[in-house]
Amino acid sequence: MTTEPEVLCRVEGGVGRITLNRPKALHALTHGMCLAMIEALQAWKADDAVHCVLIDHSGERGFCAGGDIRMLAESGAGDGHAARAFFFTEYQLNHLLFVYPKPVVAVMDGVTMGGGVGLSMPAAVRIATERTTYAMPETGIGLFPDVGGGWFLPRLPGKAGLWLALTGARIKAPDCCALGIATHYMPSANVEAFKTALLAHPQSVAGALAAFVEDAGHSPLAAHRDDIDRLFAGASVDDILAELEADGGDWAKAQLGILATKSPQTMKVAFRQLAHGAAFTDFADNMVMEYRIGARVVRRHDFLEGVRAVIIDKDNAPKWDPATVAAVEDAVLDDIFAPLPPEEEWTPLT
């Protein structure tokens, strides 16, 4: 019995092709998948026959639902070594894609969350389809919007990135295009023809796109962009909750209801993460910060409890500790963000 690789890496027609291949797990990333992608990308950098890179997925369901959350939780409940190793390698992959010298095209044809966002956001071309569902839902399981979220989210228009980070909101292609998360839209029925055109003309990504992209249509989020920018502009999570409470409108009440289900600790982590990330001028500095956070958060109560409630027992009733935003002390956040011992800090690939 043969087992297919979890990620398929090959060169076709001048295109370095990376195809995520764990359809039953919605192509959630494993450590081995990250290593395989790094190896291929490093080889293609110096290969003059490779003009661009295409990242897609096998099967009907995708693009990538995140990382191997169960493994992270099992590791976090122990010594955390496997979780740290995964983050270290995944973040090296995120950084490699960010600085990659050749055009990268990501086809976000399906669920694009967590680790899938980390693969697609560094790409020069990010294609959404009607099947795209984008989200950074980590606050709902006591994690945080990592894989470069600290860099990408605060650079979205207004406070949209912070709103996405805190609420874990799921958005579709029109909103992805309106916010700049996706650079292009095409119907899923056009994707295979686009890939064929790219393989035929790997030196002209724009030319290959031209015949297949369409207008994504009206952005439903447009009606709430002013509300987001106004109500999520506070100097802290506490301020944002107070603004939402004072507003009293239906949309504000809905956001309060959503935020009430999230980990208070992780919301404060995400708020500080995005504030720091907005000020960085080097993507690598952001990944150093996120590795420090990840190395610690996976061993804390809220992540283990969030995974239990949402993924293992599926009772969707996590008992967060602390239970309120007001009770999350700055000293705890300081510990989460503090530098690691020099020999344990994250470093990019050389």
- What are the DSSP E strand ranges found in 155-310? 184-185
According to the model, what pLDDT value does residue 60 have?
A: 81
The CATH homologous superfamily to which domain 7-344 belongs is 2-enoyl-CoA Hydratase; Chain A, domain 1 (3.90.226.10)
Q: What is the tens place of the pLDDT at every residue in 298-327? A: 999 999 999 999 999 999 999 999 999 999
pLDDT digits (tens, 9 = 90+) for 17-59: 999 999 999 999 999 999 999 999 999 999 999 999 999 999 8
- The model's pLDDT over 74-106, given as tens digits with 9 standing for 90+, comes to 999 999 999 999 999 999 999 999 999 999 999
pLDDT tens digits along 275-298: 999 999 999 999 999 999 999 999
169-212: per-residue pLDDT in tens?
A: 999 999 999 999 999 999 999 999 999 999 999 999 999 999 99
Catalytically active residues are 67, 115, 138, 146
pLDDT classification of 333: cutoffs 50, 70, 90 = very high
Q: What is the largest CA-CA distance in the chain?
A: 62
Q: How far apart are the first and last CA of the chain?
A: 38
Map out the domains of the chain as residue ranges.
Answer: 7-344
Residues with Cβ within 8 Å of residue 182, at least 6 apart in sequence: 108, 126, 127, 128, 132, 134, 173, 176, 216
